[in-house]
Structure 1
Amino acid sequence: MAARTGKEYLERLSASRPTVHIQGETVTGGIQDHPAFRNVVQTYAELYDLQHSAEHKDTLTYTSPTSGEPVGTSFLTPRTSDDLVKRRKAYKVWADHSNGMLGRTGDYMNSSLMALASAADWFAQANPAFGENIRRYYEKVREEDLLCTHTLIPPQVNRSVAGTQQAGGKLAARIVKEDDNGVVIRGARMLATIAPFADEMLVFPSTVLRGTPEDKPYSYAFAIPNDTPGLRYVAREPLDYDRPRHDHPLASRFEESDCVVVFDDVHVPYERCFALGDAELCNGFYSQTSSVVHMTHQVVTRTTAKTEYILGLVSLLTEAIGIEQFQHVQEDIAEIIATLEMLRAFLRAAEADAQVNE
């Protein structure tokens, strides 16, 4: 497969059967038709269609090194500053489509996966299989153009104790069993944005593990399909009230649901595991792989698009009601302009000063 179209994204979503609890209702299919999700799902489909538009396809895709097909630019492993610029331009096309209001479009996790796969040797120091697993999984997501959500912290119930001690250690998701084919996970995690309409979930480790024997069951990183048996999502109250777009121009298109993730003895095959039982490896998951750097490259690009939108909106408002001449209003607008130019400067410096690391 290559970069997906919106139609292909919707077809795969239609065939998926995730378990989602929302406002007292349990949804086990047809996510794309549910009132809480159908509008944002359509917006995500539009993003995939942009990959095939005459105007944007050269920016949003590049040639896969394995299949020779066009795949998403956010999967491109950067070797030069020009590669970083190409990645940023792709981020910006998608961000502009939502005025920067969509925080977890596919390019966010794609960027993380790209960096993790580039650091496959780092994962392999714990087990050679883990390095191969992350590299192979990255290629799967790239070639199938999958949409990933992720979860990375235990539930915030009692902040005076570590996540591993919540409810006597029985609240946070943990490894409760290991067999010849993988591990079994039980407990809860948060906070999976876009989970109801994603294809896969990446379960990333908490990076504040203390390395004690008690932390071992909570030290893991893996990926599973969204409709894996035993996996459930508890979605917060939606902000899309199923009202006309004229009255709710943002929420009616860009409401990305956030979910608590519940694992009811979910079996995870070894080939989908990237770290197991190694707290030190988990603590360095982001910093040692440069994953957070490339995720933030996307975040700052999106925030730039959002700030441009806010500046345009504020400018129109002040002009419409004739208050742009007041000094305190000019000061407020100047603050937005300064913020925007700082974001642009950060991006330019990050790309221009970038160097290849190990």
Structure 2
Amino acid sequence: MRSGADYVRALDDGRCVYVNGDKVSRVADHPAFAGVVATMAAVYDASCAEGSPLVDPGTGRLAIFTCPRTREQHELRRTALEQWSALTHGFIGRGPDHVAGLLAGFSSRPELFDTERHQLGRGVQCYHRYAAERGLWVTNSIVPPQANPNDPTSRVRPVRLVEETAEGIVVDGAQMLGTGAAVADAIFVTSIRPLAPDETDRAVSFVVPISAPGLKLLCRRPYATAGEPFDYPLSTRFDETDAMVVFDRVLVPWSSVFAAGDVTVVNSQFFGTAAHQIGNLQSIIRLTAKLRFVTGVASLIVKANGRDTDPAIKGQLAELATVQTVSEALTHAAHSHAERDEYGVYRPAGKYLYAALGMQTEVYPKAIKLLGELAGGGVIQVPSSVRDFDDPEELAAMDVLMGSDRFPVAERVKLFKLAWDLVGSEFAGRHVQYERFYSGAVATVRAHAHRFYPFADAEALVGDFLASYRA
């Protein structure tokens, strides 16, 4: 089983990562990444504990990679996903637990990846096994960079196939976003947008190590460096980073190529297999854990202000709790109503899964808005830094502002700074924006929800009722 130390050592592989104008020499030691690396190393260490629910006892591998062909495997995978999200409170969106499900789904129907030009199905299965055996963190980058189609001078090039060789395929261009890529082992690259028949050069699906020659990551501003852990407790632990991904004629070995120039394969890989459904069970489990954490912070804030008996405040808190409960209920329903597909894989029930994903764009921003209203000016009425507690005179002044024997100043500041890192910091803003688009464009997600809802059953109820009386 991979340990935290194994994971940290693997990051020292010569990868090309840029942040704040510098090329990073050792990712694990850099202030922008050290916090999230330590967080994920602790998760890997948790999997090494005897009897860890993160591990499939049948294989000895991380259960997040399990392709659930029995009800027992389905239950085991759900338990592992819940434990994984609990360890990170749902703030690591593209951790190893996400793409692991996609790879398991792809491997459940390898023949889909076999065409007249390429027989890649066996390689899909082999790569899934390879990643599972090593407990790899594979993130993804599946959206092309934004570009203005009306700008004739634009040099934006989405990732594309430029050459096939005996060793593999050569790809060039860029992808918009690789969340967690700087601290992952590898990146899965494809197009989530359906491709037109003539877009064969865009029709690629592959996994490549972050250290691959010619692969560059241009990271956005890090939030982990905002301040001390006391002042930014979430930013310093859970900033998984986002990076723009640039490919400069990168060679991808055939052993990790799933599609090369085959539009039909790329367009059908997610829904023609169980990948999208079992992969996104992680998405809604993670969101449920995150909303539970937000609700806990809100409840403590209300108690700290002595407003827990106020009917109006209790109503707001109940509204937040309802958001979390609905997310949890849909997640439970998606799991419990799972059925085996024609390839023998248990897929979470689409009716509930896509309802949960469809709500995701709205419920997290709503939850953070409610938390902000409950916290009020308390998230601003805090000293600038943990260092302010070192000055006795300043500490005495703070006591006049917020002193209490029941709730000491330091504990109050600690709680409200945590709340600020949820509602007002750069980390907070990024997470609101991230959850809005986590599962793709709103219209696309709602289309999935529409597709999986049994409208015919609902219409039949109405039809029977209409038939029960005369016009």
Q: 1:341: which partner in 2?
A: 325
Q: 1:82: which partner in 2?
A: 72
Q: Answer whether contact 1:101 1:306 (CA < 8 A) is retained.
A: yes
1:60 aligned onto 2:54: yes
How far the C-alpha of 1:352 sits from its partner, in A, is 2.0
Aligned partner (choices 98, 101, 105) of residue 91 of structure 2: 101
1: distance between equivalents of 2:27 and 2:108? 34
Query: What is the RMSD of the two structures over their aligned residues, measured on CA atoms?
Result: 1.9
| C-alpha distance 43-323 of structure 1, shift in aligned 2 (>3 A) | same
How far the C-alpha of 1:291 sits from its partner, in A, is 1.2
1: distance between equivalents of 2:150 and 2:325? 40
- Which letter maps to 1:97? L
The percentage of counterpart residues that share the same residue type is: 30
Write out per-residue CA displacement over residues 135-166 of structure 1, whole angstroms, 9 at most, x where no aligned residue. 000000000111112110110122679xxx99
1:167 aligned onto 2:154: yes
| C-alpha distance 17-203 of structure 1, shift in aligned 2 (>3 A) | same
Larger radius of gyration: 2
Aligned partner (choices 231, 249, 252) of residue 247 of structure 1: 231
Write out per-residue CA displacement over residues 69-95 of structure 1, whole angstroms, 9 at most, x where no aligned residue. x11011112123332222121112121
Aligned partner (choices 279, 286, 302) of residue 302 of structure 1: 286
1: distance between equivalents of 2:68 and 2:169? 34
Greater shift in the superposed pair: 43-52 or 240-249: 240-249
How far the C-alpha of 1:185 sits from its partner, in A, is 1.1
| C-alpha distance 287-78 of structure 1, shift in aligned 2 (>3 A) | same
Q: Which SS does the other structure have where 1:59 is aligned? A: coil
Q: 2:35: which partner in 1?
A: 39
Q: List runs of 5+ in structure 2 lacking aligned partners.
A: 344-471
Aligned partner (choices 182, 186, 191) of residue 196 of structure 1: 182
| C-alpha distance 11-177 of structure 1, shift in aligned 2 (>3 A) | same
Write out per-residue CA displacement over residues 179-215 of structure 1, whole angstroms, 9 at most, x where no aligned residue. 2322211111121011111111111224321112xx1
1: distance between equivalents of 2:9 and 2:88? 22
2: distance between equivalents of 1:327 and 1:238? 41
Q: Answer whether contact 1:106 1:147 (CA < 8 A) is retained.
A: yes
Aligned partner (choices 43, 49, 72) of residue 62 of structure 2: 72
Q: Give the aligned length.
A: 342
Q: 1:26: which partner in 2?
A: 23
Write out per-residue CA displacement over residues 307-327 of structure 1, whole angstroms, 9 at most, x where no aligned residue. 111111111110110122333
Q: Answer whether contact 1:13 1:199 (CA < 8 A) is retained.
A: yes
Higher strand share: 1
Higher helix share: 2
- Which letter maps to 1:20? V
1:278 aligned onto 2:262: yes
- Which letter maps to 2:43? L
2: distance between equivalents of 1:185 and 1:148? 18
Q: 2:405: which partner in 1?
A: none
How far the C-alpha of 1:247 sits from its partner, in A, is 0.8
Q: 1:10: which partner in 2?
A: 8
Write out per-residue CA displacement over residues 31-85 of structure 1, whole angstroms, 9 at most, x where no aligned residue. 100110011101010000000224xx441101465xxxx1101111212333222
Higher relative contact order (CA 8 A, sep 6+): 1
Q: Which SS does the other structure have where 2:146 is aligned? A: coil
Q: Answer whether contact 2:195 2:267 (CA < 8 A) is retained.
A: yes
Q: Which SS does the other structure have where 1:248 is aligned? A: coil
2: distance between equivalents of 1:64 and 1:270? 30
- Provide runs of 4+ in structure 1 moved above 3 Å: 125-128, 165-168
Aligned partner (choices 227, 230, 251) of residue 267 of structure 1: 251
How far the C-alpha of 1:223 sits from its partner, in A, is 1.1
Greater shift in the superposed pair: 82-91 or 302-311: 82-91
Q: Answer whether contact 2:108 2:274 (CA < 8 A) is retained.
A: no
Q: Answer whether contact 2:98 2:139 (CA < 8 A) is retained.
A: no
| C-alpha distance 160-99 of structure 1, shift in aligned 2 (>3 A) | farther
Q: List runs of 5+ in structure 1 lacking aligned partners.
A: none
1: distance between equivalents of 2:242 and 2:64? 23
1: distance between equivalents of 2:106 and 2:28? 30
Q: TM-score scaled by structure 2?
A: 0.69
